[in-house]
Structure 1
Amino acid sequence: MPKLIPDSRPQRVLVASNLVYTMGSGLYLTAGVLYFTQAVRLPAEQVGLGLGIAGLVAPAVGIAVGHLADVRGARGVYVITLLVQALATAGFVLADGFWSFVLVIGLAAAAKAAGLAARTPLIRHYGGDRPQEFRARLRAVTNVGISVGAVGAGWIVQEGTLNAYRCMVVGNALAFVCAAATLFLLPSVPPGPVMDGSRWSALRDRPYLLLTVLDGVMAIQFKVLTVAVPLWLIGATTAPHWLISGTMLTGTVIVVAFQVRAGRGIDSPAAGGRAYRRAGVAFLVACALISLSAGTPAWAATALLITAVVIHTVGELWHAAAGFEVSFALAPRHATGQYLGVFGLGAGLAEAFGPGLLIALCITWGRPGWYVVGALFLLTGLAAPPAVRLALRHQHAQQAHTGRLLLRRRAAIESATGTTIQQR
């Protein structure tokens, strides 16, 4: 943890806010679904449907709020999203049926997506020369916070009472409020300049949208260790069940220890494209090893699964670092929130459809499904470098076009006023 604490005060404020926020998130990620199935007594099918609906609606909200953060000031917008998320989370205790559940979970998911988009201009403004590296630091802190929250959630699940689950909901909401309060220690960021045609420009940037789709497909990998591996371990292997926690702990430790280091060598969009390709290869190898763990002795299954998790997490480091690089480097500074909101669409769709896809292919179909999923990751990684090159050409063309517009505007002003504008 000491190595994750940055030197500048604004960065430390963002890290502290993120740590508090993710401690609350760790409570929900570990015990949230159990709250609705065990305490609220909703059928698991309805919970899954409600989460899917929320996952579809939330990313679109992120784009709109990201644009708002660009033109109105990111800190205030981000604080509002955290407070809305706290209010929606507190509303979990009032959910007593399917539609009330959909309402509060949809509002919470929308506020979360909006907050991630609104935070990106802050990361870019205070991230120094390499905001991508600071984003990697935040991801490492995120894993620390979620792990701490998961420890508290373990007690809640062990108790299993309605009051214990309600403590989880209240603790989660309070964490979001504290994260918002911490941000008032952060100097405000003035709104960026409004450029002609900048409204919803990210949705017209086809190369950036292509990268969003590719990153979204690869983002399904985040559900491999949390959804597919536990179900596979229990249903298809003889490995001990405690290994589920072991695989999660292994992945978390690797991310905390090496995410910042992994991002340092990925310092250009081209390097990001190559990192996507390496990640695809790593995911294919990991999927193959997981499939081989079925039908083997317990010791062999354990060794194969642990090895697969290590290789998969290395691929996760490359994938995350590549996403940080291309999403920031290819986004115009004046539209950071809007562009990163669009980039979050891919991860949002993976969140909504990834679990069902992995269950259908890897669990229901079995061993062949793992090879199909691995091949999907590999093909996505291979497609990333040419997609990055296309996006770079488009970015250069857009920059040249903007430069010409500024020159014309300057010439028009000089002609109208009879003065010469000095270039800085």
Structure 2
Amino acid sequence: MSNLATLSARIVPTDPLRRKLIAIRLAESIGKGIFLSGSIVYFTLHVGLTARQVGLGLSAAGMSGLISSVTFGMIADRVGPRRLLTIIFLALAVGFGSYSLVDSSAAFFIVVMCVGFVEYGTSPTNSALIGTLVPANERVRLKALMRSVFNIGFSVGIGVAAVAALSRNLLVVIPLTTAALMVVAAMLVTRLPEGEPKPVPVGFRRFAAVRDRGFLRVIGVSAVLASHITLVLVTLPLWALTHTPVPHSVVPLLLIFNTVFVILFQVRASKGADTVAGASRLARRSGIWLAGGCLVVAVTALDDNVVLLTGALIAAMLIMSVAEVMQSASAWGLGFGLAPEHAQGEYLGAFELSVITQNIAGPALLSGIVVAYGFWGWTAIAAVVLTAAAAVVPVTRRRAALVPAGVS
């Protein structure tokens, strides 16, 4: 009980504003945990879609993020992030609720792409809101707190979805409960202050973030370092299942281990990432850790001892989890630190492309490499990650020395 109390005290801020922001994140994460973990079961058993149709729809929804992330960030800068975030959550409530009415593949594709487009606007708008309400030196730590809370809420959502999946009659609870939680999140957003608008300098151009070549280079390097997303959630579990003799029950345990690790250590890992220089150094360290994790997995291709392989996979997940919390914190520090105060939404939306690109290209690319080439595939991934780790500090330093794009 004392450990739970300590964790609760670490995650729940005493400041009312930050508590409200945490509550919004909790409502959102439970809803997304319910839907993402139960969506395959819902669409295949309740709606009657094939697994291929569901996969194509979700991939199409992910592609929409390439446009919506920057677009919503720009809108947040113009109309105010609080107002836009309220609209986004209400739109998501309608979208998730509409899934309960879907009865064909055509309707599914329409709804899933609309929901995906709006959903990818949540992160940059939320980050822009934090940028207007929270001092610069506290933003990264708050994002770390919110990520720990997200993992907790997501885990709760998985439990709710598991209960709903026990009966076909309960499956409709999955989209409807998610929709209700989006309404709760919207209501909580309306209780936040508006935040002070930042004056836009004369000469600032639209789409400045995607014109900013130095900023795009930082995004590109960060996309490589963010490959832990795919490696932890897809590639490592797939490798363990198909290329090692370890019991299949080990795989979900690895993912549970990762989730708990993030909850416990994400805030601690954010220390020092509240400056651009500190964030870039942390990003470099994250790449070194991630490459190390890849090399540990590579070793599992050379032996078939179940005990040793199980230990190696656990060690690899631990190392990759360290890389994950470091890289996440560094990404927030770089995003906030390099974004002009008057264009937080647009620049943070552009920085989100590093994650979106990884979500779209990562699973097929990285899993294909390790499945085809085994030991050398993992070694090649480690080499690419180390190259990105070596590049991130000088690339960031050059961008930080420039006048923000669009300012004459």
**Structure 1 residues 375 and 163: alpha-carbon distance in aligned structure 2, compared to 1, 3 A threshold:** farther
- Structure-to-structure mapping, 1:342-357, within 5 angstroms: 342-357=350-365
The answer (yes or no) to whether the contact 2:43–2:49 under 8 Å persists in 1 is yes
**Residue 393 (structure 1) shift:** 1.4
Secondary structure of 1:187's counterpart equals coil
1:3 pairs with one of 7, 10, 18: 10
Secondary structure of 1:264's counterpart equals coil
**Residue 81 (structure 1) shift:** 0.7
2:112 pairs with one of 105, 122, 144: 105
2:268 pairs with one of 220, 242, 261: 261
Q: How many residues align?
A: 398
Secondary structure of 1:238's counterpart equals coil
Please list every run of 5 or more consecutive structure 2 residues that lacks an aligned counterpart in the other structure: 1-7
CA separation in 2, counterparts of 1:398 and 1:186? Answer: 29
The answer (yes or no) to whether the contact 1:61–1:114 under 8 Å persists in 2 is yes
CA separation in 2, counterparts of 1:398 and 1:328? Answer: 13
Identity among equivalent pairs (%): 30
CA separation in 2, counterparts of 1:22 and 1:206? Answer: 33
- Structure-to-structure mapping, 1:213-228, within 5 angstroms: 213-228=220-235
**Residue 355 (structure 1) shift:** 1.2
**Residue 126 (structure 1) shift:** 2.6
CA separation in 1, counterparts of 2:84 and 2:105? Answer: 30
The answer (yes or no) to whether the contact 1:58–1:106 under 8 Å persists in 2 is no
What are the superposed Cα offsets for residues 264-300 of structure 1, whole Å, 9 maximum, x if unpaired? 1223212222222211111111112223234422221
**Between Structure 1 and Structure 2, whose CA radius of gyration is higher?**
1
CA separation in 2, counterparts of 1:59 and 1:7? Answer: 37
What are the superposed Cα offsets for residues 136-169 of structure 1, whole Å, 9 maximum, x if unpaired? 1111111111111112223234x1x433321111
Secondary structure of 1:189's counterpart equals coil
CA separation in 1, counterparts of 2:171 and 2:391? Answer: 44
**Residue 220 (structure 1) shift:** 2.5
CA separation in 1, counterparts of 2:269 and 2:151? Answer: 15
Match of 1:184 in 2: 190
Instruction: For 2:389, give the aligned amino acid.
Output: G
TM-score by length of 2: 0.92
2:335 pairs with one of 320, 327, 335: 327
- Structure-to-structure mapping, 1:187-266, within 5 angstroms: 187-196=193-202, 197-266=204-273
Which stretch shifts more, 47-56 or 187-196? 187-196
**Structure 1 residues 41 and 367: alpha-carbon distance in aligned structure 2, compared to 1, 3 A threshold:** farther
Which stretch shifts more, 294-303 or 2-11? 294-303
CA separation in 2, counterparts of 1:374 and 1:108? Answer: 35
2:115 is equivalent to residue 130 of structure 1: no
2:175 pairs with one of 169, 179, 187: 169
**Structure 1 residues 240 and 127: alpha-carbon distance in aligned structure 2, compared to 1, 3 A threshold:** farther
2:287 is equivalent to residue 280 of structure 1: yes
Instruction: For 2:376, give the aligned amino acid.
Output: P
Match of 1:35 in 2: 42
The answer (yes or no) to whether the contact 1:72–1:191 under 8 Å persists in 2 is no
Match of 2:4 in 1: none
Instruction: For 1:205, give the aligned amino acid.
Output: D
The answer (yes or no) to whether the contact 2:228–2:323 under 8 Å persists in 1 is no
Please list every run of 5 or more consecutive structure 1 residues that lacks an aligned counterpart in the other structure: 406-424
Secondary structure of 2:14's counterpart equals coil
Instruction: For 2:140, give the aligned amino acid.
Output: Q
The answer (yes or no) to whether the contact 2:272–2:279 under 8 Å persists in 1 is no
TM-score by length of 1: 0.89
**Structure 1 residues 38 and 237: alpha-carbon distance in aligned structure 2, compared to 1, 3 A threshold:** farther
**Structure 1 residues 145 and 323: alpha-carbon distance in aligned structure 2, compared to 1, 3 A threshold:** same
CA separation in 1, counterparts of 2:199 and 2:78? Answer: 7
Instruction: For 1:126, give the aligned amino acid.
Output: L
Instruction: For 1:346, give the aligned amino acid.
Output: S
Instruction: For 1:92, give the aligned amino acid.
Output: Y
CA separation in 2, counterparts of 1:27 and 1:300? Answer: 35
2:304 is equivalent to residue 293 of structure 1: no
